[in-house]
């Protein structure tokens, strides 16, 4: 009886050990990233914020730098962007996004003062809202399938991309100005706005913080120009391009 009981215990022990053998494989499969999903994610939604510096290369910016107490750095601002990306291949996403940058700065004429010896002051506002579609190419696989039911994300995934779309802008100035022909000082609200085409290139990296949460850092450079409105008819087209650096979180589904 004791012999049969001992054999039964040994068989139970062997079955338990055999059942545990696949566990190290599943655990090691998660080494690529924190956690796993039960299927490969196909969509990600995210929002990022950061720093934007416009190129400011056109005549209107030359004017405000020369005549007013403004520099290119005064047009730097926060940058915000929301993005929806759809996976179309293992390393390729198509991403739709919308962003916004806005700055408002007070200034005065550098070399002119009013008859009462007070500065001639004004406020300049500059806003850009791009709506874009991009192709995002990952330089390595973003994860791997361990079985039909488990997808393990990589810890980090660098990418590059290119895209284009439309950008709406508004450039406005409100305050006092000098008529250089009569030397009169007058008050005015000057505004130019419109929508034109834009293009951009970018690169960045995704860092997996969990099976669904991704931290993304990205640098982007964009181009765009448009003729200014009648209030600025003496100037050439306004430069809408520039650089952005952003960081944010995405959720993948």
Domains annotated for the chain, with CATH where assigned, are: 34-252 (2.40.160.20)
3-state secondary structure of 79: strand
Residue where the block lists tokens 């994860």: 143
pLDDT at residue 4 tops 70: no
Residue 14 clears pLDDT 70, i.e. is over it: no
pLDDT tens figures, 118-159: 999 999 999 999 999 999 999 999 888 777 778 788 899 999
Give the pLDDT mean for 46-51: 98
* pLDDT tens for each residue of 79-124: 999 999 999 999 999 999 999 999 999 999 999 998 888 999 999 9
CA atoms in the 13 A half-sphere facing the CB of 223: 5
Burial 22-36 (b: 16+ CB within 10 A, else e): eeeeeeebeebbeeb
Please state, in angstroms and rounded to a whole number, the distance separating the CA atoms of residues 107 and 53: 19
Does the CA dihedral 230-236-237-240 come out positive or negative?
negative
User: What is the average pLDDT score of the chain?
Assistant: 87
pLDDT band at 36 (very low <50, low <70, confident <90, very high): low
**How far from 20 is each of 12, 38, 71, 223, CA to CA, in Å?**
13, 21, 67, 58
User: Which range among 4-13, 62-71, 109-118 has the greatest average pLDDT?
Assistant: 62-71
The two tokens of residue 31 are: 């080494």
Mean pLDDT of 195-203: 98
- Residue 189: partners with Cβ closer than 8 Å, 6 or more residues away: 172, 173, 174
Helix (H) / strand (E) containing 135: strand 119-138
Q: What whole-number distance in Å separates Cα of residue 1 and Cα of residue 169?
A: 90
Distance CA 104, CA 4 (A): 88
Q: What is the pLDDT of residue 20?
A: 37
Residue 136's Cβ-count burial label (10 Å; 0-12, 13-18, 19+) is buried
What letter does residue 234 receive in the DSSP assignment?
Answer: T
Please tell me the least confidently modeled range out of 30-44, 55-69, 72-86, 157-171. Answer: 30-44
Give pLDDT, residue 118: 92
For 186, other C-beta atoms within 10 Å of its C-beta total 10
Among 138-147, 158-167, 175-184, 187-196, which stretch is predicted with the lowest mean pLDDT?
A: 138-147
Pairing of strands 77-87, 151-153: unpaired
Whole-number pLDDT of residue 153: 87
Q: Do the Cβ atoms of 128 and 113 come closer than 8 Å?
A: no
pLDDT at 24 over 70: no
Q: Where are the alpha helices (DSSP H) in the chain?
A: 2-20, 22-29, 59-67
- Tell me: pLDDT of 208 over 90: yes
pLDDT of 33 above 70: no
């Amino acid at each position: 009886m004791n012999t049969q009981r001992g054999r039964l215990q040994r068989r139970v022990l062997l079955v338990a050990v055999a059942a545990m053998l696949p566990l190290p494989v599943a655990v090691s499969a998660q080494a690529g990233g924190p956690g796993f999903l039960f299927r490969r994610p196909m969509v990600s939604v995210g929002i990022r914020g950061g720093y934007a510096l416009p190129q400011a290369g056109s005549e209107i910016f030359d004017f405000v730098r020369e005549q007013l107490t403004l520099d290119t750095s005064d047009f730097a601002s926060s940058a915000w962007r929301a993005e929806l990306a759809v996976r179309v291949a293992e390393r390729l996403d198509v991403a739709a996004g919308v962003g916004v940058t806005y700055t408002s700065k007070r200034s005065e004429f550098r070399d002119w003062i009013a008859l009462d010896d007070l500065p001639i002051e004004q406020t300049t506002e500059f806003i850009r809202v791009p709506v874009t579609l991009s192709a995002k190419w990952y330089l390595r696989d973003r994860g791997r399938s361990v079985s039909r039911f488990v997808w393990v994300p990589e810890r980090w995934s660098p990418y590059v991309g290119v895209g284009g779309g439309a950008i709406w802008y508004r450039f406005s100035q409100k305050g006092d100005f000098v008529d250089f022909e009569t030397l009169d000082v007058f008050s005015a609200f000057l505004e130019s706005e419109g929508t034109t085409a834009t293009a951009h290139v970018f690169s960045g990296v995704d860092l997996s913080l969990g099976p669904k949460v991704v931290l993304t850092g990205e640098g982007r450079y964009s181009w765009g120009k448009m003729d200014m409105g009648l209030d600025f008819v003496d100037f050439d087209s306004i430069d809408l391009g520039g650089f952005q650096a952003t960081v944010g979180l995405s959720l993948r589904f």
